[in-house]
Structure 1
Amino acid sequence: MKETGQFEVYVEVLRAVIIAVIFLFLLWSDRKNDLKSWDGWRYILNGFFFLTFATTIDITDNYPSLSKFYIIGPTVLEAILEKIVGYLLGSILLALGFFKFVPLIADYRREAEARRKAEEFSKNILSSVDEGFIIIDENYRILSANRAFLESAGVEFTEAVGKKCYAVSHHSEKPCYESGEECAVMHTFQTGKPHNVLHKHISSDGSPYYVEIKSYPFSRENGRVKSVIEVLNDVTEKRQLEEQLAHSQKLEAVGQLAGGIAHDFNNIVTAIMGYAKLIKKKNASIEEAKKYAEQILLVAEKANSLTKSLLIFSRKGTLEVMPISVNDIILGMSELFRVVVGRKIELETDLLDEDIMIMADKGQIEQILLNLISNAKDAMPKGGKIKIKTAFAKLGETFIKVHNLEPAERYALITVSDEGEGMDDETKARIFEPFFTTKPVGKGTGLGLSMVYGIVKQHKGYIKVESKKGIGSKFYIYFPETNEMPIGMDDSTDKFFSGNGEKILLAEDDNHIRRLMENCLTDYGYKVVVASNGNEAVKVFCENDDIELAVIDYIMPEKDGLEASKEIKKINPNVKILFLSGFSDNNIEREINDEIKNAELLTKPILPERLLNKVREILSKEKELTSLDSDKLH
């Protein structure tokens, strides 16, 4: 200690402490450094370790009392440990480590810069796309959003982040699943799988717009989804185009049916005219006339079934979901199906004895069946058999979740099978894709089965196909069963209700129908005044102040039935209105209810019993109300 001096000892101690601190710092940083697996890093750590060891020996050299711990002489041990093992080996390892490590640091920086540029590039890409992106946490709060979303929502980035996604996206105080709508984000959080839904909203000007929402897992923790990326895309134009294409396909289908229907109507007209002539002949007995009249009614009912089917497929109807019977739809469409398939194909139905009720739009289900029947017919150019079958099916919980069906105890199952050409696996995998068709150019749009798929999904159902090349195809359609029953009953009955001399205004532009209804009402005790257009109806009503009921055709020349009825109601607000229409359209009924209070509607064809019973019902209801008002006065 006296030989070296106290100052030198302090310097050596300080040097040892500095080296030890550096070594400990490197060890501490090594625990989370992604470079720790590199050889250069390990060499540097070992180099500092030996340098620390050497400085320790250097310090002990200044304390002879420590020599008693040395196994050999202190001078020899010092030389070996300090000079060779410590400084020399440590310096070599340190130099080797830096030689290996410095180039890797440069590579690491280049990789970090590349990652930064890639992230910036991805951010720019997301900001430039038209679809809106947001990242949402488990509490439905927005973590991040791209430019397209912010612009569509009309908010700044700082205003969106931290807010509930439904508050920013839909301007709603509660999530969509609480409003009865399907929530894609909730589905992804619960199942861990991507999901997409279509939402319909109403804009400030009252017009509908459609938003397609897709959600994907974004981050996970212990197997659980912690955040979701939601993609929002305005598909209003696409939806409108699909509706236009669907409508045009309906019209195209009706056009293709024209030849077959013309043939059927010729048969119907032949039968009606033939039986009518037999009735007209002078020597026909009353019994024969009744028998012929019954045949005319049966043939006319067939014509009625065909015209109803045509009206369904030529109109652009809105979706009206209500309880409907699957079996009734198939039976009601059977005549049209037979026209579609032609004479070479046998059509067989196997319907369950028990009634099968589903919540659906009647026209859409009819569209599904017509498309499948048409597809089956095209698959059998040489003829064969098409079979339609109904049944109940029970589905497993996993199957329901995987295919996003609406949960139900039982499912209505409709199968449509054919003996056609069948499909290979590649065709079968693409059969429901829009615009995919195996038909020659100009022979098909490729929309038929994609429309079927879309309608089934819209009704929370499921469709699948089994097919083998050269054997045929079989389509399975599942719909959730409902316990609800149809609203309203058929108002037709064989019983005719007579009048009590009430005066009725009958406005109908078709001479034959007007004459038939006038005779029917007059024969059963009513006084009838007639008009052939809207203007004449108003004029006749003004000339007769004792009219209790106005029976008015909805579509008439000069002035339509609705406008004429409004003028009549201004003259006498208490008069009852019964509209007649050749169109079975929910929009017409809605328009009537909006414009005329307590008006009724009968759709053509209108048999005498339907007309008489509806007239009696309306007038009796009025008399009951009048009687009640009279009792209150007394």
Structure 2
Amino acid sequence: MSDFEKGFKTLFQNMELGAYLQSADGSMVDVNHAALTTLGMTREEFLASCGTQPRWRLTGESGDDLSPDQHPATIALRSAEEVHDFVVVIHQEGKPAPVWVNLNAIPVRDRGGAPDAVMVTLRDISQLRRLEQAAAVTTAEREREHKQLQLQHVQKLESLGVLAGGIAHDFNNILTSIMGNTELALMQLTPGAPACENLHRVERASHRAAALLKQMLFYLGKGPFSSEPIDLNLLLEEMAEMLQAAISKKATLRLESSRPLGLFSADPVQMRQVVMNLVLNASESLRNEVGKIKISTSQKHYQQEELAEFRGSEELAPGSYIRLSVSDTGYGMDKETRARFFERLFPDTGRGLGMAAVMGVVRGLRGGVRLQSDVGKGSTFTLLFPVDEDVPTAAPTTKPDGEPMGMGPVLLVDDEEEVCQLVGAMLERLGYEVITARDGHSALGLYLQRDDYAFVMLDLTMPVMDGEETYEQLRGIDPTVKVIITSGYSEKEVARRFEGKGVKGVLQKPFDMDALRKVIG
């Protein structure tokens, strides 16, 4: 053995990295101490394991057995190129835990340059893989826990939605009774009587309660927002008392309305929440100190360059806009706070929609928002809403006192006694004879007894036989039956359910005489 060969053998045996030499015919030439330690074998066991009856087998990362042709040593000999970072799992007889190793195969060439052997180095990565697997298990457990929490959250929301739907049904019936009886009482009083103003306040409060209930149902996914012409000045005047009660006692609220003002299409519940949130935010900025909050409205035709400073879903088009401004004399904001203001939920007390949601409402209405603020100089929020030229100015509604608008019998079907009494009184005031039924079965029996009903007013939510099933049964008896559906759910949602089924109209609870007249036509 030459000195070079002796030196190589010494170096080979003392390498910290495990290695073995394999000839081109597959026989093992040598193995070093580090490799035997990694594999947990003696030299004799290793050489014997690579014979005709191997005591180990190799699998890839996927767990599939490797054939001899797939071994990195074979690949290196065949291609005459090095093979790097080939991960295999070594399974040995009598040892329960497999060994993960990272292999590198380097061809050893003869004097002519052809590979006649290969040196395979191996690095034990078992501990690393166990740590990775443990981390993966921990991550998977965290993901499962997260998904479980999400599922529980969804289930809670669904339960809350079901509960809210039931509460909404009963609450809408109560509000229908309050609003209807208040309106009937006003009709029976002499205009200007001392009790009239008190009843008007009850009427306004019940309308606000109905709007609040509608908002709650929207957030629980129980009813989409509607769209109707908005008179911003009227909306603010109706909210003035409520806004004053909501802000700090040290704050002075002033409303400056510009007239005339055009109309724009929006949901009144959303708009009330937008206004309320802006005013609450202004109140919070005063930090419980004496200050002023001003709400102003105006209408202006904006040029393109004037709209550049407003934020919206897209570039705002030049045109006529309704402008709502809310300003305060509070602490104000620095540049950094202004930059991220619409990404946060304000005010910090958690009241209101949050400014991010305000931004969402404005974008949905194709409008824009501008924030002007400096530290120590207060803040001004300016919202723009495009004037809808196609929306006609709302004409004042006439309320003929006691003037009949129809005649004939009406079948009124509702499981709530108070609602039956109230709506019955409203229909009688409009000139109709009212026959009531408390459930669907009774309604079918009463409808069969006569053929001169002007129409049927049918509640959608009833026990035993609901309004939808009752309606189908009525249509089976009389395909020409005229039915008005009453429900506490969204009018649009109910209309979609009965689209194409010949319903005369849909009346959303709570409703007043004006809404009743309108749906009867």
* Interval of TM-score (by shorter of Structure 1 and Structure 2): 0.5 to 0.7
What is the number of equivalent residue pairs in this alignment? 338
Query: Which of 601, 608, 625 is equivalent to 2:506?
Result: 601
Q: 1:425 aligns to what?
A: 335
Within-5 A mapping of 1:194-593: 291-316=193-218, 317-318=223-224, 323-341=229-247, 343-380=249-286, 381-382=288-289, 384-400=291-307, 404-434=314-344, 439=348, 443-444=349-350, 448-486=354-392, 493-498=399-404, 501-522=407-428, 525-583=431-489, 585-592=491-498
Quick one: structure 1 residues 432 and 607, their matched pair in 2 at CA, closer, same or farther if it must change by over 3 Å?
closer
Q: 1:80 aligns to what?
A: none
Q: Is the 8 A contact 2:326 2:382 kept in 1?
A: yes
Q: Give the 3-state SS of the residue equivalent to 1:302 in structure 2.
A: helix
Mapped to 2, the partners of 1:337 and 1:588 lie a distance apart of 33
Q: CA deviation at 1:294?
A: 2.2
Q: Which moved more, 1:486-495 or 1:368-377?
A: 486-495
Quick one: structure 1 residues 505 and 414, their matched pair in 2 at CA, closer, same or farther if it must change by over 3 Å?
same
Quick one: structure 1 residues 602 and 318, their matched pair in 2 at CA, closer, same or farther if it must change by over 3 Å?
closer
Q: Give the 3-state SS of the residue equivalent to 2:264 in structure 1.
A: strand
Structure with higher helix content: 1
Q: Is the 8 A contact 1:508 1:532 kept in 2?
A: yes
Higher alpha-carbon Rg: 1
1:103-149 per-position Cα deviation (integer Å, ceiling 9, x unaligned): xxxxxxxxxxxxxxxxxxxxxxxxxxxxxxxxxxxxxxxxxxxxxxx
1:308-329 per-position Cα deviation (integer Å, ceiling 9, x unaligned): 3303421325465565333343
Q: Is the 8 A contact 2:488 2:509 kept in 1?
A: yes
Q: Could you tell me which amino acid in structure 1 is paired with residue 335 of structure 2?
A: D
1:522-557 per-position Cα deviation (integer Å, ceiling 9, x unaligned): 455432210123333233223333322101223333
Mapped to 1, the partners of 2:201 and 2:353 lie a distance apart of 35
Q: Is the 8 A contact 1:434 1:447 kept in 2?
A: no
Q: Give the 3-state SS of the residue equivalent to 1:431 in structure 2.
A: helix
Q: Is the 8 A contact 2:277 2:353 kept in 1?
A: no
- Structure-2-length-normalised TM-score: 0.55
Structure 1 gaps, min length 5:
1-240, 256-264, 280-285, 618-634
Q: Is the 8 A contact 2:460 2:486 kept in 1?
A: yes
Q: Which moved more, 1:501-510 or 1:330-339?
A: 330-339
- Structure-1-length-normalised TM-score: 0.46
1:130-180 per-position Cα deviation (integer Å, ceiling 9, x unaligned): xxxxxxxxxxxxxxxxxxxxxxxxxxxxxxxxxxxxxxxxxxxxxxxxxxx
Q: CA deviation at 1:448?
A: 0.8
Q: Which moved more, 1:481-490 or 1:309-318?
A: 481-490
Quick one: structure 1 residues 489 and 536, their matched pair in 2 at CA, closer, same or farther if it must change by over 3 Å?
farther
Mapped to 1, the partners of 2:405 and 2:228 lie a distance apart of 35
Quick one: structure 1 residues 561 and 347, their matched pair in 2 at CA, closer, same or farther if it must change by over 3 Å?
farther
Q: Is the 8 A contact 2:307 2:318 kept in 1?
A: no
Mapped to 2, the partners of 1:438 and 1:367 lie a distance apart of 13
Quick one: structure 1 residues 325 and 295, their matched pair in 2 at CA, closer, same or farther if it must change by over 3 Å?
closer
Q: Give the 3-state SS of the residue equivalent to 2:302 in structure 1.
A: coil
Which one scores higher on RCO, CA 8 angstroms, separation ≥ 6? Answer: 2
Q: Is the 8 A contact 1:405 1:462 kept in 2?
A: no
Mapped to 1, the partners of 2:295 and 2:264 lie a distance apart of 17
Q: CA deviation at 1:446?
A: 11
Q: CA deviation at 1:505?
A: 0.3
Q: Is the 8 A contact 2:506 2:519 kept in 1?
A: no
Structure 2 gaps, min length 5:
1-149, 165-173
Quick one: structure 1 residues 471 and 509, their matched pair in 2 at CA, closer, same or farther if it must change by over 3 Å?
farther
Mapped to 2, the partners of 1:426 and 1:384 lie a distance apart of 24
Q: Is the 8 A contact 2:444 2:473 kept in 1?
A: yes
Q: Is the 8 A contact 1:415 1:474 kept in 2?
A: yes
Q: Give the 3-state SS of the residue equivalent to 1:483 in structure 2.
A: coil
Within-5 A mapping of 1:33-44: none
Mapped to 2, the partners of 1:607 and 1:438 lie a distance apart of 36
Q: Percent identity, aligned pairs only?
A: 27
Q: CA deviation at 1:466?
A: 1.7
Quick one: structure 1 residues 383 and 536, their matched pair in 2 at CA, closer, same or farther if it must change by over 3 Å?
farther
Q: Is the 8 A contact 2:265 2:391 kept in 1?
A: no
Q: CA deviation at 1:504?
A: 0.8
Mapped to 2, the partners of 1:553 and 1:355 lie a distance apart of 39
Q: CA deviation at 1:474?
A: 1.0
Mapped to 2, the partners of 1:297 and 1:447 lie a distance apart of 31
Q: Give the 3-state SS of the residue equivalent to 1:477 in structure 2.
A: strand
1:447-485 per-position Cα deviation (integer Å, ceiling 9, x unaligned): 711122233233332212122334421101122323121
Q: Which moved more, 1:328-337 or 1:414-423?
A: 328-337
Quick one: structure 1 residues 527 and 315, their matched pair in 2 at CA, closer, same or farther if it must change by over 3 Å?
same
Q: Could you tell me which amino acid in structure 2 is paired with residue 573 of structure 1?
A: P
What RMSD, in angstroms, separates the aligned Cα atoms of the two structures? 4.0
Quick one: structure 1 residues 287 and 445, their matched pair in 2 at CA, closer, same or farther if it must change by over 3 Å?
closer
